[in-house]
Structure 1
Amino acid sequence: MSDRAPQRLLGESPVLADLLDRVSDLAPLNRPVLVIGERGTGKELVAERLHYLSSRWQQPLIKVNCAAISESLLDADLFGYEPGAFTGANRTHIGRFERAHEGTLFLDEVGTMSAPLQEKLLRLIEYGEFERLGGQKTLTVDVRIVAATNEDLPRLANTDHFRRDLLDRLAFDVLTLPPLRARQGDIRLLAEQFAIQMSSELGWSVFPGFTDSALETLSQHPFFGNVRELKNVVERSLYRWGHEDEPVDQLVLDPFDSPWRPRAESDDDVSLGDGDFVEQVARFEISLLEAALMRHDRHQGKAAEALGMTYHQFRSQLRKHGLIGGTRPKSH
């Protein structure tokens, strides 16, 4: 049994409330669940909620990040091994599936799992059976699988990079987490919660609050890093602000922002890379605004004129992307 109390998914937005209702409905069912969402949206918190609302809540909740361990080590870590299974294996190692018996195993980044491991996972889900590396005895376990990914698994299955039959077994139901930009009403609630916690860590007697300008900047920022990025922004901004008796007015959205930051010669070229349509458009707009400001020594009027915009239109775009008041969004 885990000795840590589950963390809460904070928010009051309708999309989050609908998700939490589905989690509550799914939790009592002894079926695999697939949790999908961008990085920083809280997939691990959903797995915890599924576990602690189930009848397995007093049993172990074991977690593993499949992307953080090499294939050979992940095999040994999940399924265990017997002495002599490989060089250096001089004792029996109990894998995570055995340790999670009668509980829940959270497999994060399951889309990175190799084909041989996918085959072994499929067998375990279907029959509850497996063998340790180097072992001859078939073992059985009772484990609920909660898998998570930020990948498009159906697309990977269509291109033979993920087993279709395993996807079917994992996806008894799929919980897709909304990104923070779809929960805009939750940004203030989360920011204040993180700020209160950080104020305590800094030894402040009370959190002095945010100014309206700072809250507006937070609400307009796209937060492609989701809740994790918001938490970093809030905590970083409070410690740099340093005035416990004054509302926080300046946000540090980009810790790399510096006039002495090394820049490649091709920085004026817009390189979008991967990402969804909204993210790429935001990157493109930010790049145009930043390049115009750079060419005109941060003079907003001249930069606006260079882009064929009025001063007020230009200011509106700066505000939209959090580029006013010495703040800049996360560099892409």
Structure 2
Amino acid sequence: MVYNDSMDDSPGAVSISEALGQSEAFLSFQEQISRVAPIERPVLILGERGTGKELASARLHFLSRRWQKPFVTLNCAALTTTLIESELFGYEKGAFTGAGTRRIGRFEQADGGTLFLDEIGNIPMEVQEKILRVVEYGRFERVGAVHPVHTDVRIVGAANVDLAQMARVGRFKQDLLDRLSFEVIYVPPLRVRKGDIMVLANHFAGRMAFELGFDQVPEFGKKAIQDLEAHVWPGNVRELKNVVERAVYKTNGPVITRIDFSPFISPYGPMPEPGTPSIKPTENRTSALSADKESNSDTESVLAQLADLPLKKAVLALERFRLSQALTAARFNQKQAAANLGLSYDQFRGLKKKHGM
């Protein structure tokens, strides 16, 4: 399933050709978007980083009656109260020092269309109150203005945090959450879309080969496909895109044989700092306790040992522990241990060398 690619390079423009997939999870997610798109109500899109929440919001807009009107975006992450208020509502000339001219905010820019608010959980509470008034009454005041401005905007919010939990602990306005959540759409992470991995990988490979001026698109070898499908993809589609583009860039032939999931892993990387402790699993495994109880015991032991370490040393110690744990579980079959950790064989050997194992 492919959408026409946007060729607009302006800020906020969205390329939606990367909304690809054939898995049941992906198709169900797309169907949910299609059903709610024509309904003139706010929508929340929730999902992990890199899953394509902005692509989903763009599909919502272009399948709605507002598709010929503006699609305006704003990333709310790390904006101060003053800055986000100015971005959303605009300001009048002289409203504050430096306001030499009137500025139109995102709500006015999106009039008649859709306003996509990414990372909506970062919006300060006092600004949330003003957004609620726009949702309820369709009007607001620019910063420094006296008269209200009327606007007709459909709001689509997105977050990778639990907004309901934030509302319960008073970090997000419950009234606003109620008004924005006419429908809540969860974007499926790539790890539950196994059937889509190679569809996306081939698409990204084709685009990268074109960008590099290759005569042909390199194919993925059997081992490369196995590595891609075995990886857990914490960064989801965004991570997959980076990994595939790097693989195409580094290939020297018609077949991609090696996948580097991280550009930072190298046999020449820095060694752990002296004094970095090793984590040891719990002893006395001869009892007939269940696997679950053993696993919980190990986890508690590891956490206890990490608790008082500086962060850098804790990360190194945990990394070494997981390598050792994976080797033991795989009966020291390094390729199997690497696969169990979601690493390539070369990545696994590089980490072993890094830790002097």
Give the TM-score range, shorter chain. 0.7 to 0.9
* CA 78–252 in structure 1, closer or farther in 2 if over 3 Å, else same: same
Tell whether 2:75 aligns with 1:84.
no
Range moving further from structure 2, 318-327 or 121-130: 318-327
Q: How far does the alpha carbon of each residue in 1:237-290 deviate from its partner, in whole angstroms, 9 at most, with x for none? A: 1111232xx3100111110001232355337557899xxxxxxxxx99964353
8 Å CA contact 2:45–2:158 kept in 1: the answer is yes
Amino acid at match of 1:84: G
8 Å CA contact 1:322–1:328 kept in 2: the answer is no
- C-alpha separation between the residues in 2 aligned to 1:320 and 1:142? 51
Tell whether 2:29 aligns with 1:12.
no
Specify the SS of the correspondent of 1:48.
Answer: helix
Aligned length: 305
Specify the SS of the correspondent of 1:67.
Answer: coil
Amino acid at match of 2:331: T
Match of 2:64? 54
> What aligned pairs does 1:1-332 form with structure 2 within 5 A after superposition?
4=8, 7-8=16-17, 9-243=19-253, 246-265=254-273, 266=276, 268=278, 287-290=320-323, 304=327, 307=328, 310-312=331-333, 314-327=334-347
Amino acid at match of 2:321: L
* CA 284–24 in structure 1, closer or farther in 2 if over 3 Å, else same: farther
- C-alpha separation between the residues in 1 aligned to 2:152 and 2:348? 50
- Kindly, what percent of the aligned residue pairs are identical? 44
Match of 2:298? none
Amino acid at match of 2:162: D
- C-alpha separation between the residues in 2 aligned to 1:203 and 1:242? 14
Specify the SS of the correspondent of 1:174.
Answer: strand
8 Å CA contact 1:254–1:328 kept in 2: the answer is no
* CA 191–285 in structure 1, closer or farther in 2 if over 3 Å, else same: farther
8 Å CA contact 2:218–2:255 kept in 1: the answer is yes
* CA 263–73 in structure 1, closer or farther in 2 if over 3 Å, else same: farther
Specify the SS of the correspondent of 1:12.
Answer: coil
Specify the SS of the correspondent of 2:224.
Answer: helix
- C-alpha separation between the residues in 1 aligned to 2:168 and 2:271? 40
RMSD: 2.6
Q: How far does the alpha carbon of each residue in 1:154-196 deviate from its partner, in whole angstroms, 9 at most, with x for none? A: 1100100001111000100000001000101110111111011
1:327: Cα distance to partner?
Answer: 3.4
Specify the SS of the correspondent of 2:241.
Answer: helix
Specify the SS of the correspondent of 1:250.
Answer: coil
- C-alpha separation between the residues in 2 aligned to 1:318 and 1:71? 46
8 Å CA contact 2:135–2:179 kept in 1: the answer is yes
What are the ranges of 5 or more consecutive residues in structure 2 without an aligned counterpart? 1-5, 9-13, 280-301, 307-315, 352-357
- C-alpha separation between the residues in 1 aligned to 2:197 and 2:84? 37
Match of 1:300? none
Range moving further from structure 2, 141-150 or 68-77: 68-77
Specify the SS of the correspondent of 2:167.
Answer: helix
Amino acid at match of 2:262: D
Specify the SS of the correspondent of 2:88.
Answer: helix
What are the ranges of 5 or more consecutive residues in structure 1 without an aligned counterpart? 274-282, 293-302
- C-alpha separation between the residues in 1 aligned to 2:110 and 2:277? 49
TM-score, with normalisation over the residues of structure 2?
0.79
* CA 23–309 in structure 1, closer or farther in 2 if over 3 Å, else same: closer
Specify the SS of the correspondent of 1:83.
Answer: coil
